[in-house]
Amino acid sequence: MANQADLILLLLIMVDLFMLATTRIAAAVRASAVQGLLLALLPLALSAHGSTSHLAHAGLISGGTLALKAILIPWLLMRALHKVAIYREVEPFVSQHISLLLGAVVVGVAFWSSAHLPALPGNAPALLVPVSLATVLIGFLIIVTRKKMITQVVGYLVMENGIFVFGMSLAREMPVVVEFGILLDVLVGVFVFGIVIYQISAAFDHMDADVLSELKD
């Protein structure tokens, strides 16, 4: 069902922009959970008319995504957030207004550039490529414009989500094992990030990434 898929993709972009606009870290983490939920729905919407085996594949991926990206990873991040007790993104490198403006520019660039790329084979929805590129770019924007480490991890997740959307166009080509391997890597990644954040908050008393500037030539 192309319409359902398009709706999901549009919602994804709106969540991206919300993440750029908010200063509350907990809100950004919750938004990443919502994004995980949308991602879990996407394979189902894309394969509604597929064969049974294709549907089973989509169901597995959908379930795995739901468990990891909508529940487990946000829960881990929330725990880290409560442990270090820092809830607001104060004084980001770029103000919220400007970063929202940058987000709009990035979305424009994503749509413009994907119009110049060859179309995806098969019947993938037209929004798939621009939304995926926009999400990757917005994730990158979050990583480079925010100071709090947890927000940077959320940015990394947003980037991964954008790539995952792109991967949806290849669902038929990818063995389930591989897709689970990728999901698992992301999970372990967030886990390791969480441990480091916890250690840093214990060592430095706060966790702005810009205090990390001791190492240089």
Binding residues for other proteins, rule: CB under 8 A, are 117-118, 120-122, 136, 140, 143, 149, 152, 156, 159-160, 163, 166-167, 169-170, 172-175, 177-178, 181-182, 184-185, 188-189, 192-193, 195-196, 199-200, 203-204, 209, 212-215, 217
Name the residue nearer to other proteins (CB basis): 97 or 157.
157
Name the residue nearer to other proteins (CB basis): 29 or 186.
186
- Nearest CA among 145, 183, 187, 143 for reference residue 163: 183
Task: Tell me the three state secondary structure of residue 166.
Answer: helix
Name the residue nearer to other proteins (CB basis): 98 or 188.
188
Output the smallest distance, CB 43 to other proteins, in A. 15
Q: CB of 182 within 8 A of CB of 169?
A: no
Q: CB of 111 within 8 A of CB of 134?
A: yes
Output the smallest distance, CB 121 to other proteins, in A. 3
Output the smallest distance, CB 148 to other proteins, in A. 12
Q: What is the largest CA-CA distance in the chain?
A: 59
Name the residue nearer to other proteins (CB basis): 97 or 213.
213
Output the smallest distance, CB 158 to other proteins, in A. 10
As a whole number of angstroms, the distance between CA 137 and CA 148 comes to: 19
As a whole number of angstroms, the distance between CA 26 and CA 86 comes to: 9
Q: CB of 146 within 8 A of CB of 89?
A: yes
Name the residue nearer to other proteins (CB basis): 42 or 156.
156
